[in-house]
Structure 1
Amino acid sequence: MNEQKNDRIDIDNTRKFGIILPIVLISYFLILLNNSLVFTSTVQISRDMHMNSIMIAWVSNAYALTFGGFLSFGARLGDVLNRRTILLAGLWIFSIASLLVGLASSQTMLIAMRALQGIGGALLAPATLALLMDYYSGPMLTRAISYYGATAGIGTSLGLIVGGIIASYSTWRAGFYLDMVMGVILIILTWRNVHPQQKTKVKTTMDWWGTITSIIGFSSLIYSINGTLYRNVAIGITVVALVGFVLIERRVKNPLMPLVIFKDNQRASALVSRFFMLGTSMSYFFLMPQALQKVFGITPLVAAVAFLPLTVVQFGVSLFVARLTFKFSNTVVLITGAIIDTFGLLLGAVIGIGQGYLLGVAVPMIFIGIGQGLIMSPLTIAGVANTTTDIAGAASGVVNTVHQIGGAVGLSIISVLVANIASPATMIDHAQMGMFVLAVIMLVAGLNILRSPHE
């Protein structure tokens, strides 16, 4: 029995989580904080780096693209190689990239280092979640995963506030230096406490060409939407790369994204719904903090606090999703959440931010928070529904990939729609109407699940 199995037994016998759970949760919070730093600092970054609305969107999109594009690859690599090695590699890449983002002296360097951060996150995220499976079992594993899920709600609120404090009282660069410091601490903790797995004897091939063509295809897709030069060329590259990706996935022995995943109507519909749900959510979290600061003249910290009606409600509702799903079914909860989320976005667009924070922002945020709190977990469950053992891991990777790419595509579309609107109030009202359209597609895809056999 190897050291890892001994650790699992010790933890289970003493009924204590030990240091592994804190490593996992802090790593997850690091990823959440990284996003929050961008959400709360876009006004500062735009001013300091002389970036227009399209370019500032790439600060978020560059990270989301590489994170989403390499996520399935990172998960697969962790299964094939030593999990500890992949975790440390992800932390090193993320930490070094965070330092270089903070030191960025040009728009190109800033965006490139954000892309490098995404690669680090793509290695880090699946490795940390897999550690829970390696070190815990039974009731301990169930509790550990519930803490992991709760971190998403708490982490989003706390991350926005931490990012707001940094952006209000310091430079935006300090936030990324904080990322680096946290990364170094996690490297030390991982080196000392996470033990190597027993090396597998089974030879497994990696889908290198699938990874390469997917990254090229998705990156070109985003650039073709909000790029400035050679957009027609980007469209051509997108078509060639994504067609090549599909052909590769049909023939390769161990595909990065098994196409059989999309043959089930429930899974396919949930993935489409998740794609557009993240498009609306990423756009809202990216653009609303900017609008709040510019329209009401508030600091990034106050703008972060202004998001509490959404984040706190979302966290609170998510705690009841399991019970609601058991009582009404996963599909009913999913569709209800999609309807409420869509209504909240429409309400914000119709009332308008010009009517004041309470009526024009806070009230719609409550509906958006309820909707997102209800929909996220059911979308995850539906996205991996009816999977066999041999594709369960890949299906989970596809869910996370769609999550990231959907956010990047949605933000690109909305950013282009409002790029030439000078008034911050008009910009966010028009943006919310665009988000509403994306949310309608999310809802329609969710309703399509009703055509599938479900409980």
Structure 2
Amino acid sequence: MTGVRPASVPAPPAGPVPRRRWAALVLLCTANFVVLLDSQSVILALPQLTDELGMAPLDAQWVLTAKLLTFGGLLLLGGRAADRLGRRRVFMAGTALFLLSSAVSGLAWTGGVVIAARAVGGVAAALMVPTALSILLNTFPEGRDRNTALAGWAGIGGIGATVGLLLGGLFTELAGWQWVFFINVPVALVVLLLTPVLVGESRAAGRQGPYGVPGALTSTAALVLVILAVSRAAGSGWTSGQTLLPLAAAVLLAGVFAAVERRSAAPLLPPDLLRRSTLAGGNLVTLCMGMAAFSLSVSVAVYGQAVLGHGPMEFGALQSVMSFLAFVGAYAGQRVVTRTGFRPVVGVCLVLLCAGCLLLARVPADGSYLRDVLWGLVVFGPALGAGTAAASVAAVSGVPERSSGVASGLIVAALQIGGALGVAVVTTVTATFSGPEPGPAGLTAGLQAAFTACAVFVALGMAAAALTLRSRSKPDRVR
């Protein structure tokens, strides 16, 4: 789900005729798929990309976090712009920007260029994804057809995460890291050409409030400064000016964001929503799960290639077991939540996620995939899928229908922002704790600390769940 507002979406006669609705669905799911593919495939390409562009490890993590930050930080703004300016228009603008950013990423000659292009790609994703879902809701009226369409949308999302690792490894090994970006170009071009044919224009009914640009920009800038400070801490120390000054500026911008939101007639984060403990808890848990999931994926990819010596294609297939099991876990988790409520599922999944991280924290320098990696992924994967599904249910539990789109968008934003924070922290941890001796032994010590940090992220999620997702006399169930 994304930052759109389904309650404000009318069902006008305009739009695709019924026989074209399913073709439009395929088009929208393709756009969602390629955005997810872009996020996952670069994980396997990162070691080769870092080496060929001569990037320092602490700088290389920005290839991932640049997109995650702009995607998560501008997601709600993208959904609001689509409501105001026209959904098809914004979707096409986002797709064109995604095409451009992918081409520049593949052609990048320095690390700075690829990082800037990835940040633009995040802006594109923030326009594409919520708008595509809003178009889907506008195209299919409530009922069985809409439920089928939403199931297809969710299913493609799960498949995209798995296929992204497989294709990322394949393209990196056979053609070079550039092709994890170039593959997006023809897909985006086809989506761009077919959108005017299959998708009708639509806007939200009634007058809309302000866009919320100041709030979106100040909050995103604050997050960038936090990650910049964390990245510099490994080299300059936590008490140095290079670390403390960005943190101070981030606090100042956070204050500006709060002031802007208080004065806004249509804040990005409505105060009545933020006062709901289940929404706050569900998003905090999702944030912590995102921190653990993205950072663990990156650390596993580095261990598999740099320590175990697997090629990108081979390890992409091996690592995809986690994404596949997360996909399975998400569907199984939804069924269990329907019967038991979200609290037991969140609790059990957080315990399993922590166990998976701690299993991986024991990886040795002379390890093997089957003995030292597989079982951690097998424990972590299904718990991630079921846990994020349950946390999403918690976040939207009791939220009024008119605010369901904003609440859903917050979940996606929390996952993306959590991923950006997690990758920044574990990259710093890995650099700090890597042993003095070069080679696999020194790197393994840093990666062990990184997997332990992932367990700490999950422990923070446990604390958030305990404080906010408290038991009530009647269990929360999905109806």
- Regarding TM over 0.5, the answer is yes
Letter of the 1:62 partner, please give it: A
Matching residue of 2:243: 231
Alignment coverage as a number of residue pairs? 450
Residue 344 of structure 1 contacts residue 367 of structure 1 at CA under 8 Å; is this kept in 2?
Answer: yes
| d(CA) in 1 for partners of 2:306, 2:217 | 40
Letter of the 1:434 partner, please give it: A
Residue 279 of structure 2 contacts residue 394 of structure 2 at CA under 8 Å; is this kept in 1?
Answer: yes
Deviates more, 1:87-96 or 1:379-388: 379-388
| d(CA) in 2 for partners of 1:225, 1:368 | 26
Deviates more, 1:415-424 or 1:428-437: 415-424
Letter of the 1:426 partner, please give it: A
Distance 1:296 1:194, change over 3 A: same
Matching residue of 1:36: 40
Distance 1:264 1:104, change over 3 A: same
1:10-409 aligned within 5 A: 10-11=17-18, 17-137=21-141, 138-197=143-202, 200=205, 202-227=207-232, 230-350=242-362, 352=364, 354-409=366-421
Deviates more, 1:200-209 or 1:257-266: 200-209
| d(CA) in 2 for partners of 1:304, 1:434 | 23
| d(CA) in 2 for partners of 1:356, 1:413 | 26
Distance 1:167 1:351, change over 3 A: closer
Letter of the 1:155 partner, please give it: G
Letter of the 1:5 partner, please give it: P
Percent sequence identity is 23
Compute the TM-score of the two structures, normalised by the length of structure 1.
0.94
Residue 80 of structure 1 contacts residue 204 of structure 1 at CA under 8 Å; is this kept in 2?
Answer: no
| Alpha-carbon offset, residue 352 of structure 1 | 4.4
Secondary structure at the aligned position of 2:183 is classed as: helix
Distance 1:354 1:449, change over 3 A: farther
Deviates more, 1:143-152 or 1:118-127: 143-152
| Alpha-carbon offset, residue 65 of structure 1 | 0.8
| Alpha-carbon offset, residue 413 of structure 1 | 1.0
Matching residue of 2:6: none
Matching residue of 1:445: 464
Residue 41 of structure 2 contacts residue 166 of structure 2 at CA under 8 Å; is this kept in 1?
Answer: no
| Alpha-carbon offset, residue 312 of structure 1 | 2.1
Q: C-alpha offsets along residues 139-173 of structure 1, whole Å, 9 cap, x if unaligned?
A: 11111111111112211111111111100101111
Secondary structure at the aligned position of 1:418 is classed as: helix
Compute the TM-score of the two structures, normalised by the length of structure 2.
0.89
Letter of the 2:348 partner, please give it: T
| d(CA) in 2 for partners of 1:438, 1:383 | 19
> Which of residues 446, 461, 464 is equivalent to 1:427?
446
Q: C-alpha offsets along residues 358-408 of structure 1, whole Å, 9 cap, x if unaligned?
A: 121001110001211210111111112222244332222222221111111
Letter of the 1:102 partner, please give it: G
RMSD: 2.0
| d(CA) in 2 for partners of 1:383, 1:447 | 14
Secondary structure at the aligned position of 1:298 is classed as: coil
Letter of the 2:76 partner, please give it: S
Deviates more, 1:189-198 or 1:119-128: 189-198
Q: C-alpha offsets along residues 154-210 of structure 1, whole Å, 9 cap, x if unaligned?
A: 111111111111001011112211112211111011122111126856253221211
Q: C-alpha offsets along residues 4-54 of structure 1, whole Å, 9 cap, x if unaligned?
A: 62556x42xx6x852111111111111111012210101111111111211
Matching residue of 2:5: none
Letter of the 2:466 partner, please give it: L
| Structure 2 alignment gaps of length 5 or more | 1-9, 236-240
